[in-house]
């Protein structure tokens, strides 16, 4: 997916030699396979992917795979819920589900880790973070996800607690600092925010809303704060910050 993916796993009890190593290897293999398989299906940089075949008109959506149609339906639902600030199509009409696929991959990886009995972990895919449990099992201490300063990639503007006793398990960040200006702005509106971070109970909601606020500006930020249990931190193009009350608490 053109990004770095990291997974921190904390054992629930004392390490158990080879058995612990085998469990770690199994968890890593599941996460790697999920991301690899989804990238092979949805990447528009792979000429042989299903997404590229759709973009070239060699395949139509009704004849696409179940997962392609399911994620398109989910993305379309988000378009309605965000009043068009999030869209599954590029301005040229090409279907592009990359705004949803990474969050979906993280979501599926988290579900798989829980199914494997892993309770304490933190998964980071290109700055989008989903956490479970605690870095110190049994302590109630949350994971803390740092938010990079878009004007100085070597420093942080904030950190947000995830999982443990907190209600939010996920934090996603969208903007132009990491990958350049790649988000289509609603109605061609000028850039208002260079970066937006959203914390929510699930990673897809956090990721979609972060992208939608970059696209839709302050009106979408207000809708996100009013319509979802989400905390938002936005960096304006002049470097000033806007934070919802739930982010500042």
pLDDT digits (tens, 9 = 90+) for 173-223: 998 655 545 555 555 567 899 999 999 999 999 999 999 999 999 999 999
pLDDT at residue 178, rounded to an integer: 56
Rounded mean pLDDT of 3-9? 90
pTM: 0.91
Task: Report residue 237 as tokens.
Answer: 């193009």
Query: Measuring CA to CA, how many Å separate 67 from each of 5, 33, 41, 96, 111?
Result: 22, 16, 9, 14, 17
pLDDT at residue 176, rounded to an integer: 62
The 3-state DSSP class for residue 82 equals coil
145: DSSP letter: E
pLDDT at residue 17, rounded to an integer: 61
Q: CA 206, CA 208: separation in Å to the nearest integer?
A: 6
pLDDT at residue 11, rounded to an integer: 81
**Does the structure show a pLDDT above 50 at 120?**
yes
Tell me what the pLDDT averaged over the chain comes to: 89
Q: For residue 103, how many other CB atoms are within 10 A of its CB?
A: 24
The fraction of the chain above a pLDDT of 90, given in percent, is 71
Residue 93 binned pLDDT confidence (cut-offs 50, 70, 90): confident
CA gyration radius, the chain: 18
Rounded mean pLDDT of 2-29? 78
The per-residue pLDDT for range 16-67, each reduced to its tens digit, is: 566 667 878 888 899 999 999 999 999 999 999 999 999 999 999 999 999 9
pLDDT at residue 180, rounded to an integer: 47
For domain 5-248, give the fold: T-fold (3.10.520)
* Among the listed residues 111, 193, 107, 195, the one whose alpha carbon sits nearest the alpha carbon of residue 146: 195
Q: For residue 47, how many other CB atoms are within 10 A of its CB?
A: 10
Note whether 28 and 7 are within 8 A (CB). Answer: yes
Task: Report residue 23 as tokens.
Answer: 């469990």
195: DSSP letter: E
* Among the listed residues 133, 134, 78, the one whose alpha carbon sits nearest the alpha carbon of residue 104: 78
């Amino acid at each position: 997916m053109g990004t770095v993916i990291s997974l921190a796993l904390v054992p629930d009890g004392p390490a158990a030699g080879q058995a612990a190593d085998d469990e770690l290897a199994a968890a890593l293999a599941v996460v790697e396979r999920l991301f690899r398989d989804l990238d092979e299906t949805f990447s528009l940089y792979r000429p042989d992917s299903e997404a590229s075949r759709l973009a070239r008109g060699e395949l139509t959506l009704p004849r696409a795979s179940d997962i392609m149609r399911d994620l398109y339906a989910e993305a379309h639902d988000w378009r309605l819920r965000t009043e068009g600030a999030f869209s599954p199509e590029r301005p040229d009409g090409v279907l592009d589900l990359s705004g949803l696929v990474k969050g979906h991959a993280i979501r599926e990886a988290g579900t798989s880790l829980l199914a494997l009995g892993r309770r304490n972990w933190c998964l980071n895919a290109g700055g989008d973070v989903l956490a479970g449990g605690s870095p110190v099992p049994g302590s109630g201490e949350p994971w803390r996800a740092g938010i990079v300063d878009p004007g100085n990639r070597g420093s942080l503007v904030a950190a947000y607690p995830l999982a443990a006793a907190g209600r939010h398990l996920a934090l996603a960040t969208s903007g132009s600092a990491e990958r350049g200006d790649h988000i289509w702005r609603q109605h061609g509106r000028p850039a208002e925010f260079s970066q937006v971070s959203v914390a929510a109970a699930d990673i897809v909601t956090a990721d979609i809303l972060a992208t939608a606020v970059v696209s839709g500006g302050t009106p979408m930020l207000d809708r996100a704060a009013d319509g979802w249990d989400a905390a938002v931190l936005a960096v304006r193009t002049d470097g000033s910050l806007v934070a919802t009350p739930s982010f500042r608490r």
